[in-house]
Amino acid sequence: MDSFDLAKAPPEIRAYATPIILLNLYTNASWLYVYFGMVYRSVKDKSYAMPLYSQCLNIAWEITYGYIYGDDWMLFATFLVTFPTDCLVIWAAIYHGAKEWDRSPLVQRNLLWYYVIGTGIAVALHMCAASELGVEKAFFAGAIGCQAVLSVGYLGNLIQMGSTRGFSMHLWFFRFTGSLTLVPEFYLRVKYWPERFGFLGQPLMLWCCAVFLGFDLVYGILFWYIRRQERETGMLLADGRKRK
């Protein structure tokens, strides 16, 4: 995936090399902070925030493009940091968020296997996409698709739980802005490198971006509202769980 080497990019996009690098740095730093924050909140609240299937899709994306197809040292170095952190998120969800699955003992007792099997299936999905679309196109399309699924899943979790345990408002801010900063980068790639990245401006990719923006904004508003209600009614226990 030599498109990450901006020295090989057209002159028009090379003029924006510094903003693109800064946007990527913010994205990576923000998501690392969110990962560690989710581990902390899982341990503290005995809960989890990221849906199981999204965790499988995300870590499978990192395995596929960081280790199976990764051929860029900077990309590999990034995944070398994010992959273990993502593993910590899954560990916290299994060992500290299992109480959330009281309604489904079968899932509660076999969470580890759900993650193992789910990640294996997701890796196969990403590899099929890479085989059909090409590694580079599947890398970007997969990331956008995973983001859309993640945004829908987060909102669904919040509505289903009816509680803010496992997450926080400032983690939502860094999760949202950490993904949002990729939008201007993708715009620059579409505008100044269309022969390589024109597909990012096609309807399906734009739909995924709209889903991300819409659902994440609604999540932030609803999270703030539920959090305010919890504080006003004094319904939070010390571990972040709601009183019965």
Over residues 142-159, mean pLDDT = 95
Which comes out higher in pLDDT, residue 244 or 195?
195
HEC-encoded secondary structure of 147-164: HHHHHHHHHHHHHHHCCC
Q: In 46-134, which ranges are continuous DSSP H helix?
A: 52-63, 73-95, 105-109, 111-133
Please say if the pLDDT value at position 158 is more than 90. yes
Go through 107-138 and write b for each residue having 16 or more CB atoms within 10 A of its CB, e for each that does not.
Answer: eeeebeebbeebbeebbebbbebbeeeebbbb
Whether the Cβ atoms of residue 243 and residue 237 lie closer than 8 Å to each other: yes
Separation CA 142–CA 208 (nearest Å): 11
- Domain ranges in the chain? 4-240
Residues ≥6 apart with Cβ < 8 Å to 162? 226, 242
- The one-character DSSP state at 236 is B
pLDDT single digits (tens) 81-138: 888 999 999 999 998 888 888 888 888 889 999 999 999 999 999 999 999 999 999 9
pLDDT single digits (tens) 124-134: 999 999 999 99
pLDDT single digits (tens) 190-227: 999 998 899 999 999 999 999 999 999 999 999 999 99
Q: Dihedral through CA 67, CA 70, CA 74, CA 75, nearest 10? A: -80
Q: Distances in Å between the alpha carbon of 17 and those of 6, 114, 227?
A: 7, 41, 40
Res 237: pLDDT: 46
